[in-house]
A and B are shown apart, each in its own frame.
Chain A
Amino acid sequence: MKHLKWSAATIALIGWGGMASATETLTMWYHGAGNEVESKIIHQIIDDFNASQKDWKVELQSFPQAAYNDSVTAGALAGNLPDILDVDGPNMPNWAWAGYMQPLTIDESKITGFLPGTKGMYNGKLYSIGLWDAAISLVTRKSILADLKLRTPTLDKPWSGDEFEAALKAAKASGKYKFALDLGTAWTGEWYPYAFSPFLQSFGGDIIDRTSYATAEKALNGDGAMAWGKWWQHLFKDGYAQAKQDGADRDNGFNTGEYAFSWNGNWAALGALKAYNDVVFLPAPDFGKGSKIGAASWQFGVSAKSAHPDGASKFIGFAIQDKYLAQFSNGIGLIPATTSAAAMVDNYKDGGPLSVFFAYSNKEGMVRPVTPGYVVESKVFEKAAGDIANGAEVGATLDAAVDEINADIKKNNGYAPH
C-alpha cells in the first residue's frame, strides 16, 4: 500500500511537471512603446490569449516605433528575433525575403472580409495580417468649398486633376490662406512614398514596374511619371504648397486656418473635427488612372526562426477578432480591418464622422510595391520627389532615380529568393 502511495505520488508529480512544462513561452515584439492606449490594448489581447488556453504564454517586448525597424534588423543579425513580430506593411516583403519572417498558418476564412491593405501577401503567401489600416484624404471645410464655389467631390465622382487645379487656384486667389495646400512636406521618410506616390500612380506612373518588379524603367520615368513630376513641381513653383514646411505648420496649420486644403491621414482627423464643425474628408483627386491612396499599415507576422510557428499563428488568429479591431480603432483612431468591426466603432460605423475613410481605404487603397527592394525604392522616390519639389529638372531626376533603383535590383540579383 505504501509503495502504491509513493507510486501514485510520483505519477502525480510527473504529471504535474509535464503539465507545467507544457506551457511554452512565445516572445513578441511590438512597435507601440510610448503609446499608452495602444500598449494597454495589446496587453489586454495578450492577457486574454494567455487566459484562454494553457499551451502558450505570450510575453511582450515593446519598442518605440522610430527605433523598431533597426532593432528588428539588429535582432535578426544577432540571431534573437522573437516568435511574433509586427511589421510595417510595405517592409514585409523585404523581411520575408531577408529570412526574418515565415508565412502565416492562420485559417484564411478568418480574413476574407479584411480590407485589402491589411493582408500582407508576398509571393502568393500570407505573411502578415493587420488589425487596422490607415487612409489619407483631402481635408477641408464645407465653408471653404462654398466660399470658393467648388463642387463637393465624392468617392464615385472625385475631382479630376483639372478640378483640383481649379480648387487650388481659387484658394490662392482668395488671398485668405498662407498656402492653398498643406502637403505635409515637413514629414519625411515613409510619408513621401505613402502619401505622394499615389498621385504618381493616378497619373499612370509608378515607383517600379509591378508586372516584373525587375525595373523602374518606363514606370518612374515614362509619360505618366513625367506628367506627375511636372504637376508636382508646379505645386511649389506656383506657390500652392511649400517644398520646405515647418513642423509646427504641419501639425497645426490647417486647424488654425493657414491652409485651405490639407493632405493628411485619418489619425489627424479627430484634431480637425475638434478645430472646426464643418470639416469634410474628400477623396483623392483622379489624375486619369483613378483616385488612389496608400494602403497597408502595421501588421502581425511570425519570425522565420520561431520554434513555435503554430503557437505564434494561433495568437495572431486570436488577435484578429472584431472586438480587438474595434478596441484599437476606438483607442488610436485607425480604420478597423473589417466592416463588422467598423460597425462597432462610433467613428467608423455608417454615418460616423470618419466612416468615409473605411470606404476610401477599401476602394482607393493601393499597397506600395510588394517587393523586397521597396525599402530602397521608397528612399529613392522620397529623394526624387524632394528634389523635384525644390526645383530639380524633372526628366533628369526621374532618370537618375530609375538608374538607382535598377542598380539596387541588379546588386541584389533581382531580389531572387535565397
Chain B
Amino acid sequence: MAQTTPDNRGLRLVVRYTVLTLIAAIFSFPLIFMIMSSFKPAEQLLADAHTIRALLPIGDISLNNYFDAFKRAPVGLFVFNSVLVTSVTVVLSLALCSAAAFAFTFVQWKGRDLALTVILATLIVPFETIAIPLLLEASKLPWIGASGITYGWINSYRVQIVPFIADGLTIYLFVQYFKDLPGELIEAARVEGASWFAIYRRIVMPLSGPVLATAAILKFLAMYNQYLWPIMVTQEEQYRPVMVGLQYFFQLNRAWGEIMAYLSLITVPVLAFYLYLQKAFIASIASTGVKG
C-alpha cells in the first residue's frame, strides 16, 4: 500500500485547489461579466464582449447605466413588488406546506397516501398547462375590500401570491425531511398528551431549520423569477415584478449597459437571501440528498 508523502499531499492540494478555482471561475464568469458590463457604455461593452476586457473594470467606467436604468423604468417599484410578492408567498408557503407535510407524515387518516400521491403528481404538470384556466378563474374570483365585494383578481398582489402558496415540491421536501425525524419524539409527546398542533409547533418545526432554508430558497427563486403569470395578470405597472420589468430594456436598439445594470440590481436581493440562508441550505442538501 503506497504511503502519502508530504510532497504527494502538497501536489494533491495544488491540483485540488486548481480544479476548484477553475470551476469557481467558470461559475462566476457570468456574474463578473454582468457586473463589469454594467459600468460600461454599450459600444465598449459590445467591443469587449469577446475579450478578457469583458471581465475587467477598464475603459470608460461610470455609473451612467444605473442612472439611465432608473430613468427608463421604475426599478425600485419592480424590486419592491417582487420582494413583497416573493416574501409573502415564501412565508405563507412554508407555514402551509410544512403543516400539510406534517399531516401527511405523522397523522394517520383515511386517504392520506392517495392524497399525497395526487399532490406529488402535480410536480409533473407544467405551469403553462394550467395558466389559462387559472387566469379565467382569477378573473372572476370575488374579493371583499374597501369598496365592498368586487369580482376579478387581475391587477393585484394577491393574484400573484395565492396561487403559489401551496405546491407539491415544497410539501415533498418537508415530507422527506419529516420522515427522518425520530418518531420516538412524536410518540413521547403524544403520550404526554400534546396536541398535534403543539407537536408541530414545539417539536417538529424547531428541528426543521435546514429544510425550511431549502424550501425558502427554492420558493424564493421560483417566485422571484416569475414571468409568464405576471404578464398575464399585471396590466397595471404598479403591480409588475422585476422579470416583467426586464422587458422594458429590450427596445429596438437594445441598451445592453442598462440591461446589465438592471440585472445587477435585481440580483442583489437573491444573493442576499441566499447568503443569509446558505449554511442551512447546504446542511439540508447534505441531509436530504436533494440536489439543485
- Name A's B-contacting residues (CB within 8 A): 29, 33-36, 61-67, 70-71, 74-75, 77-80, 246, 248, 251-252, 256, 265, 267-268, 271, 332
Q: Interface extent on B, as a size class? A: 20 to 34
User: DSSP class of A's interface residues: helix, strand, loop or mixed?
Assistant: helix
Known: A29-B235, A36-B71, A252-B43. A67 touches B251 (CB 8 A): no
| CB-CB contacts below 8 Å: B184-204 with A | none
13 contacts between A and B (CB under 8 A): A34-B73, A35-B251, A61-B235, A63-B235, A66-B250, A70-B231, A71-B232, A74-B231, A74-B232, A74-B233, A78-B136, A78-B152, A80-B235
A71–B231 CB distance below 8 A: yes
A36–B250 CB distance below 8 A: no
CA separation between A80 and B159, bound complex, in Å?
Answer: 15
CB < 8 Å neighbour of B47 from A29, A70, A252: A252
In the complex, the 6 A-B pairs of residues with the closest C-beta atoms, listed nearest first: A34-B248, A64-B247, A78-B139, A74-B232, A252-B46, A67-B231
A34–B47 CB distance below 8 A: no
CB < 8 Å neighbour of B46 from A70, A78, A251: A251
Known: A34-B249, A78-B136. A62 touches B237 (CB 8 A): yes
Q: Which stretch (B13-21, B87-95, B169-177, B252-260) binds chain A?
A: B252-260
Q: Please give 11 more A-B residue pairs, beta carbons under 8 A apart, in addition to A78-B233, A246-B49.
A: A33-B237, A61-B235, A61-B237, A62-B237, A65-B247, A71-B231, A77-B132, A78-B139, A78-B152, A80-B152, A271-B253
| CB-CB contacts below 8 Å: B119-170 with A | 132, 135-136, 138-139, 152, 154
- Name B's A-contacting residues (CB within 8 A): 42-43, 46-47, 49-50, 71-73, 132, 135-136, 138-139, 152, 154, 228, 231-233, 235-237, 244-245, 247-254, 256
B231–A34 CB distance below 8 A: no
CA separation between A344 and B253, bound complex, in Å?
Answer: 24
A75–B231 CB distance below 8 A: no
A248–B250 CB distance below 8 A: no
Chain A residue numbers with a CB within 8 Å of B72 are 34, 36
Min CB–CB distance A265 → chain B (angstroms)? 8
Min CB–CB distance B135 → chain A (angstroms)? 6
B46–A80 CB distance below 8 A: no
CB < 8 Å neighbour of A79 from B139, B247, B249: B139
CA separation between A67 and B256, bound complex, in Å?
Answer: 18
Min CB–CB distance A126 → chain B (angstroms)? 26
A33–B248 CB distance below 8 A: yes
CA separation between A105 and B235, bound complex, in Å?
Answer: 27
Q: Which residue on chain A has the smallest CB distance to residue B153? A: A78
**Considering residues A33, A34, A67, A248, which has the most beta carbons from chain B within 10 angstroms of its beta carbon?**
A67
A75–B46 CB distance below 8 A: no
A61–B236 CB distance below 8 A: yes
Q: Which residue on chain A has the smallest CB distance to residue B45? A: A248
CB < 8 Å neighbour of A64 from B228, B250, B254: B250
CA separation between A70 and B245, bound complex, in Å?
Answer: 15
Chain A residue numbers with a CB within 8 Å of B248 are 33-34, 64
Chain A residue numbers with a CB within 8 Å of B49 are 246, 248
Chain A residue numbers with a CB within 8 Å of B233 are 74, 78
Chain B residue numbers with a CB within 8 Å of A256 are 47
Q: Which residue on chain A has the smallest CB distance to residue B248? A: A34
Known: A36-B71, A78-B139, A267-B253. A64 touches B244 (CB 8 A): yes
Min CB–CB distance A32 → chain B (angstroms)? 9
**Considering residues B43, B72, B235, B247, which has the most beta carbons from chain A within 10 angstroms of its beta carbon?**
B235
CA separation between A61 and B237, bound complex, in Å?
Answer: 7
Q: Which residue on chain B has the smallest CB distance to residue A34? A: B248
